Chain A
Amino acid sequence: MTLFIQQLFDGLALGGVYCLAAIGLTLVFGVLRIPNLAHGTLYMLGAYVTYFFLVTVGVPYVAAIGLAAVVLAVIGVLLERLVFHPLRNAPHTHHMIAAVGAMFFFQAVAQALWGADFRRMESPISGNVTILGAQVSWQRIVIVVTAVLVLGLLTWFIKRSIHGQTIEAIEQDRTGSSLVGISPSRVSMLTFGLAAALATVAAGLVAPINLLSPTMGDALSLKVFAIIILGGLGSLPGAIVGGFTLALAEVMTSTYVSAAAGEGIAFVVIVIVLAIRPTGLFAKAVQR
């Protein structure tokens, strides 16, 4: 039972990280209809920039994540302007190739700036709390709470604020939105900036319990694609439900079946979803 509680909390913390990373990816897909293969490297860069502010500059943890999110939002906008915007009328394969190129570029930049070796980021949040016999670290609780807060804010932003609503409008009907005066170009930039900032928050939260390396985004990149396919491409609730589902499935499978099965479960889930319900749990995206 203790093991179950322990794994439940670990799964929730992992789910929080997956959600934050997956939402950015699904928003970008919803607005631009492109699978941003470089999303994992934005997450990686987010972790390094947070590390830079926290360790090198010496600002407090939360401020470091905030500042890094702003920096990454700018990088996200630049990525959209310099790479994806010029390709807006090109065939889809071009976006994919460009995204892979961006991925290698960001990895090389991280290796040049910070070196190839692992880095450790100490969080000021330390210690454990005992919940029903399980030792849960405060860092994991902070991850879950922050994820829920950020998801709440994001939902408010997209549903209630005027800028957020433009994202949803574009997702629903690009031509229609343009006709009522919404600039798809501005929304694209906004979405990319937001996606990169969210990935940074995820990375900043998870970095203290893991290590930084230029390839840290690779594994996550695959998982978040699995999540948004599971949840339905472009769907916000899909990414949230998918993130937590996949994280819990992963943790529980590796606990009660085997470690190898846990690593593979994401892809088993994708195969099943694609076979039974190809549009994902929350079907939304309609290819135009």
Chain B
Amino acid sequence: MAPTRIRSGTAVAAVCTGLLLATSACGGAGGSGSDTIVIGYSGPLSGGAAAYGQNIQDGLQLAIDDLNERGVTVDGEEYQVELASLDDQYAPNTAATNAQRLAEQDDAAVIYVPHAGGIQAAQELNSNRTEFLLGAYSSDPKIVEQGNELTMMIPPSFKSYVAPFVDKLTQDGESRLGLLGTASEYGQEWTKLVTDEWRGRGGQVLSDNSIDYGTVSDFAGPVSRTLAENPDVIFLGGPSQPTAVIIEEARRQGYDGSFLLMDQAKFEEMEEFTDPENLNDAIGVKPVRAYDDPGTDDILDLYAEKVTEEQPLTSEVTLNYQSVAIVVEAMQQAGSIDDATAIRDAIPDAIGEVDDHFHVSGFPTEITDAGHLRNADLEVAYRTPEGEYEHLPIEQPDE
């Protein structure tokens, strides 16, 4: 049976939105009405990263549905929240064009972009021509280092993971690090950070076998090359599914060391793609189901019911879900649905006011001056050689 999910529904909705915009005569749905708040989204909805783009979209849509159910009142007036999505196929230029369209045609005061290239392109815009608050879903620390005042960075920065990951995996004197990360720009940034950290502690970094996870037809070759140098720890990670296949291949070829996983790879997704035992002795980000925030159970049920039962819920969905609740609350606090600066300024107060229902996976406790949503008690997950998950608190660097 073909999988049924709201994704096709949302895709249809996105197309309809486009059509309605084109005709522009239809009031209400899609366009900017006096009683709607439009949240803009430009992400990869087709092409190689489409699954990722849909995860983000699902998170935004779930939050919007929940908010509408509860009712949104800004400055005494009731509003419906709507999502306007555009496909950018992961291209920075298209993301910038989309952001401009969303800001000017749909009057979106908040626009989400889930990739570092697109975020940087959109930052050029929101500081010059059009004002909008940029919901930046990328763990690349560069996006808050630009000094853009209308950026809200959603996930933890990957900089915060490197040192604790290396700490944990070098406890027994492991000294040889194999590199098998993904060859994207983001993967290379990670590879560089982890290499520097490892060398800084006197460890040996072996040859760089980074490959493009999307285009390699057989992972056995790169894995054998990496294993031929006898690493104690292998750094890898990209989308969860190919990462799981690479881990499985390494175990098949007899590797019994540790894995240091980039934050893009999620344990809960990898468990679906390979025998979970292969993932033993690995460190990575904490699975959503391991949180015990007030809304965690609800969102797990909601996701299974409204989106899909075939895939586990990950932080790609939940972090965006939480952040929509924050910006809408900030609109309520600011008493404005279109003043991006006022909305941004209201976020620190809004964080404390968001209903517990929206606290699902490490709800932010602060927004830094640079615009980074952070949870003070961030934890990571280490899967022990016995297959149990241990959660380790980590320090986040100052920004």
- Interface residues in chain A, defined as those with a beta carbon under 8 Å from any beta carbon in chain B: 2-3, 6-7, 10-11, 13-14, 17, 56, 107-108, 111-118, 120, 128, 135, 137, 140, 206, 209-211, 213-215, 218-220, 251, 254-255, 258-260, 262-263
Known contacts A17-B217, A206-B217, A213-B48; A115/B7 CB under 8 A: yes
**Is A210's CB under 8 angstroms from B245's CB?**
yes
Q: What are 21 A-B pairs with beta-carbon distances under 8 A?
A: A3-B224, A7-B225, A10-B220, A10-B224, A17-B217, A115-B5, A115-B51, A116-B50, A120-B241, A128-B252, A135-B252, A209-B218, A210-B245, A211-B245, A215-B47, A215-B48, A219-B216, A258-B207, A258-B208, A259-B210, A263-B215
**Is A116's CB under 8 angstroms from B51's CB?**
yes
- When the two chains form the complex, which single residue of A115, A135, A137, A251 contacts B3, counting CB atoms closer than 8 Å? A115
**Is B225's CB under 8 angstroms from A259's CB?**
yes
**Which residue of B has the minimal Cβ distance to A120?**
B273
Q: Is B54 an interface residue (CB 8 A)?
A: yes
**Is A259's CB under 8 angstroms from B209's CB?**
yes
Q: Is B352 an interface residue (CB 8 A)?
A: no
For B217, the chain A residues whose CB sits under 8 A away are 14, 17, 206, 210, 219-220
**Is B224's CB under 8 angstroms from A211's CB?**
no
A249 to chain B, nearest CB (A): 12
A141 to chain B, nearest CB (A): 12
**Is A10's CB under 8 angstroms from B221's CB?**
yes
- When the two chains form the complex, which single residue of A108, A118, A128, A263 contacts B212, counting CB atoms closer than 8 Å? A263
Bound-state CA distance A140–B3 (Å) is 30
Bound-state CA distance A131–B51 (Å) is 39
Contacts A120-B241, A220-B217 aside, 7 further interface pairs with beta carbons under 8 A come to: A3-B228, A7-B224, A115-B3, A117-B311, A118-B273, A137-B252, A259-B183
Bound-state CA distance A137–B221 (Å) is 12
Known contacts A128-B252, A135-B253, A259-B225; A112/B8 CB under 8 A: yes
**Is B219's CB under 8 angstroms from A210's CB?**
yes
A266 to chain B, nearest CB (A): 11
A13 to chain B, nearest CB (A): 7
Known contacts A13-B218, A210-B217; A259/B51 CB under 8 A: no
Bound-state CA distance A213–B47 (Å) is 9
Known contacts A118-B239, A118-B241, A120-B245; A255/B221 CB under 8 A: yes
- Interface residues in chain B, defined as those with a beta carbon under 8 Å from any beta carbon in chain A: 1-3, 5, 7-8, 45-48, 50-51, 53-54, 183, 207-212, 214-222, 224-225, 228, 239, 241-242, 245, 249, 252-254, 273, 311
**Which residue of A has the minimal Cβ distance to B8?**
A112
**Is B50's CB under 8 angstroms from A140's CB?**
no
For A220, the chain B residues whose CB sits under 8 A away are 217
For B216, the chain A residues whose CB sits under 8 A away are 219, 263
For B220, the chain A residues whose CB sits under 8 A away are 6, 10, 137, 140, 209
For A14, the chain B residues whose CB sits under 8 A away are 217-218, 221
**Which residue of B has the minimal Cβ distance to A135?**
B253
For A206, the chain B residues whose CB sits under 8 A away are 217-218
For B53, the chain A residues whose CB sits under 8 A away are 116
**Is A254's CB under 8 angstroms from B222's CB?**
yes
**Is B46's CB under 8 angstroms from A111's CB?**
yes
A221 to chain B, nearest CB (A): 11
Known contacts A120-B245, A128-B252, A135-B254; A219/B214 CB under 8 A: yes
**Is A116's CB under 8 angstroms from B54's CB?**
yes
For B219, the chain A residues whose CB sits under 8 A away are 209-210
**Which residue of B has the minimal Cβ distance to A143?**
B218
**Is A10's CB under 8 angstroms from B239's CB?**
no
For B221, the chain A residues whose CB sits under 8 A away are 7, 10-11, 14, 251, 254-255, 262
For A213, the chain B residues whose CB sits under 8 A away are 48, 51, 214
9 smallest A-B Cβ distances: which pairs?
A116-B50, A219-B215, A118-B241, A117-B51, A116-B51, A215-B48, A3-B228, A6-B224, A10-B220
A53 to chain B, nearest CB (A): 14
B390 to chain A, nearest CB (A): 27
B328 to chain A, nearest CB (A): 27
For B5, the chain A residues whose CB sits under 8 A away are 115
**Is B214's CB under 8 angstroms from A215's CB?**
yes
For B254, the chain A residues whose CB sits under 8 A away are 135
B227 to chain A, nearest CB (A): 9
For A219, the chain B residues whose CB sits under 8 A away are 214-217
Bound-state CA distance A211–B215 (Å) is 11
**Is A56's CB under 8 angstroms from B1's CB?**
yes
For A117, the chain B residues whose CB sits under 8 A away are 51, 54, 241, 311
**Which residue of B has the minimal Cβ distance to A117?**
B51
For A218, the chain B residues whose CB sits under 8 A away are 48, 215
Bound-state CA distance A169–B352 (Å) is 78
**Which residue of B has the minimal Cβ distance to A256?**
B225
A243 to chain B, nearest CB (A): 12
Bound-state CA distance A43–B46 (Å) is 19
Bound-state CA distance A38–B253 (Å) is 35
Bound-state CA distance A218–B252 (Å) is 28
**Is B48's CB under 8 angstroms from A118's CB?**
no
For A116, the chain B residues whose CB sits under 8 A away are 45-46, 50-51, 53-54
A78 to chain B, nearest CB (A): 21
Bound-state CA distance A111–B253 (Å) is 33
**Is B222's CB under 8 angstroms from A259's CB?**
yes
Bound-state CA distance A128–B311 (Å) is 29
Bound-state CA distance A117–B220 (Å) is 22
For A115, the chain B residues whose CB sits under 8 A away are 3, 5, 7, 51, 54
A10 to chain B, nearest CB (A): 5
For A255, the chain B residues whose CB sits under 8 A away are 221, 224-225
- When the two chains form the complex, which single residue of A111, A113, A135 contacts B2, counting CB atoms closer than 8 Å? A113
Bound-state CA distance A87–B8 (Å) is 34
Bound-state CA distance A265–B273 (Å) is 31
**Which residue of A has the minimal Cβ distance to B240?**
A118
Bound-state CA distance A7–B220 (Å) is 8
Bound-state CA distance A215–B183 (Å) is 17
Could you say which of B5, B50, B220, B253 has the most chain A C-beta atoms within 10 Å of its C-beta? B220
A148 to chain B, nearest CB (A): 18
Bound-state CA distance A17–B221 (Å) is 15
